[in-house]
Copies of this chain bind each other. A is one copy, B any other.
Amino acid sequence: MNDIVKLGTRRQKMEAKERAILQAARNELSQHGFEGAKMSAIARAAEVAEGTVYLYYRNKRELLDAVVSEFWQTLTTGARVVTGQHETTLDKLRALAEFHLKELVKDFDFVGFTVRTRETGTLDSPSLTPIRAYVAVFDEIFRQGQDRGTLVTASPLWVVRDLFYGTLEYASRTLHLHQERRHEEVVDHLIELIQRCYGADPSQAQVGALEAIEQRLQSIERQLTNQ
């Protein structure tokens, strides 16, 4: 065997081990929460000695930070895919909102873990990087909307961003507590709000709303006649 292959296998083994640990940590974390997650259980699940975990991550916090980072990275990828399937700014925003809310409700605890990670975090904390990358998805869409002239606002972007993500994050908590409430309602409301407040043409917004109602009416009529 030549050097490169040998070197490669060793690296590959380590990388596989790291992935296994991260995956085990993710499972343990979502099953038992932050305090409940045991390093011993993670090591066992990853089929690794307890000490080995500490070769890859300095301590428990760092390992769980890594899990949270991975979570946001995955979210970023998903958000780009989903928003990429739409053309207009408002469609993109709606898709992003739906995706965001759905994922937050699904992996609800990770929001809490993220907050915890930030607890002692400073402005340049590395644990913030993946979150920055994620919110950038919104920023890009919104800026594009402004460039295209479909969105108009005097407010700085960060204010609108707080509104967007803040509403959705808080709503995810509400939805998590009251399972019966509907996700769509939150998204509909938020998007309509953005449309009304930042949409370039308010009269156009109402036309859009009328069209949406028309469609839903037709859907209802269809359901009624099918019965």
Contact = CB atoms under 8 A, between A and B. Distances in A.
Contacts of A217: 213, 216-217, 220
Contacts of A115: 111-112, 115-116
**What is the size category of the interface that chain A forms with chain B?**
35 or more
B163 A193 contact: yes
A38 to B, nearest CB: 15
Interface in A135-187: 155-156, 158-159, 162-163, 165-171, 173-174, 177-178, 181, 185-186
In the complex, the count of this chain's copies comes to: 2
A98 to B, nearest CB: 15
Interface string A199-211: 0000000110110
B196 A206 contact: no
Contacts of A123: 177-178
Contacts of A189: 155, 159, 163
8 contacts: A33-B120, A109-B119, A163-B167, A163-B193, A166-B171, A170-B170, A185-B218, A206-B207
Interface of A: 33-34, 109, 111-112, 115-116, 118-120, 123, 128, 155-156, 158-159, 162-163, 165-171, 173-174, 177-178, 181, 185-186, 189-190, 193, 196-197, 206-207, 209-210, 213-214, 216-218, 220-221, 223-224
